[in-house]
Amino acid sequence: MSVYERGETFVHRLTIRDRDKTKVNPTAVTETIYDPCNYAIISAQSMSSDATGEYYYNHNLSSSATYGRYRTHVEATSGTLKSTFEGDFYVMPWKLEQQVRTLSGVGDEKSISDSDLSHIVWMAYKRALRDVYEHHYRESPGGNPNTGVGFDGTNTAFKTHHYPIADINGDGSVTGNNVSCATDVKTWWINSSGARQIGVVTIGNKDNGEINIYQSNGSSAIPNTNEGVYLDYWSEYDSFDSYLLEEAVTYLACHYVNLRFTEKDRVTVADLERRVLIAEPNRFYNEYRRLLKFITKPRLGVA
């Protein structure tokens, strides 16, 4: 399994063999796991062994784990010899692999591996977010949500004109550009000399569009001599429905799988026997687009 949900246990099993393909137990086998921001959430932890050459490590994922690709790095050491093993897995809001296999007709790993399929599902999720949210670029923020005060040189509290603010990077939380790899809202401003300056945004209340804006040091207010302050962010439509989004992502992933099997070098005899190749190559994509209409626009009818 390559996709996990928050709160689940990632179980990593590994078989280690020598040059003769014989299973062996090295002196030490350690695992490091990097999160989507490339921070080590565990570092050089010893893996357990339940048989010669068979190793495993269980990692309990946080209930607020960041969505995205996690990278695993295993080092096996015996004396001066060292071997490394790289891998990955994904944490997502839903597990869609089986639904995608069922809908697309690709039922086993002989046609497409779990690892490849999980990557396709993640890419479909990221693409869908950009299709279901509304983009606001170069928007000037509204004033302090409590007082209406704007950029007076001391005020740092402001409000977006559209909300809820969306989690456009799909990591499971809405954050400003004060976080290195997880940015949903960006800001910049023009100083009195006409030079562009990068600002810092923190999120007060995403549902109400409440944010804080600072200069690049993350603490000083934007001066009242600025010649403009601007935002780049995405917002949810009133009709946003996470259940429909899950269904839409499934169909988009099926479309990507279908495209993969239109490449002749990837098609096997078993695929042809199961008629994986579809006569209507866009049928999954058309269903994806149909579902999007009920997420991105007010509902006027029944799906």
Q: Report the b/e string of 60-80 with b at 16+ CB within 10 A.
A: ebeeebbbbbbebbbbbeeee
Q: What is the pLDDT of residues 178-197, one digit of tens each?
A: 776 779 999 999 999 999 99
pLDDT of 260? 81
Q: Considering the entire predicted model, what is its pTM?
A: 0.86
Domain boundaries, the chain: 3-91, 97-131+240-296, 137-236
- 60, 74, 187, 245, 247 from 241: Cα distances, Å: 29, 40, 28, 6, 10
Q: Which CATH class is domain 3-91?
A: mainly beta
Low-confidence ranges of the chain (pLDDT < 70): 1, 108-110, 180, 262-280, 297-303
3-91 and 137-236 share one CATH topology? Answer: yes
What would the two tokens of residue 107 be?
Answer: 């039922």
Q: Which amino acid is at 98?
A: Q
Would you call 245 exposed, middle or buried from its count of C-beta atoms within 10 A (0-12, 13-18, 19+)?
buried
Cβ 174 vs Cβ 166: under 8 Å: yes
Q: Which CATH class is domain 137-236?
A: mainly beta
Q: Report the SS3 class of residue 151.
A: coil
pLDDT of 170? 94
What would the two tokens of residue 194 be?
Answer: 């006409």
Please compute, for residue 180, the number of CA atoms within 13 A of its CA located in the half-sphere on the CB side.
5
pLDDT of 56? 97
What is the residue whose two structure tokens read 């004060």?
178
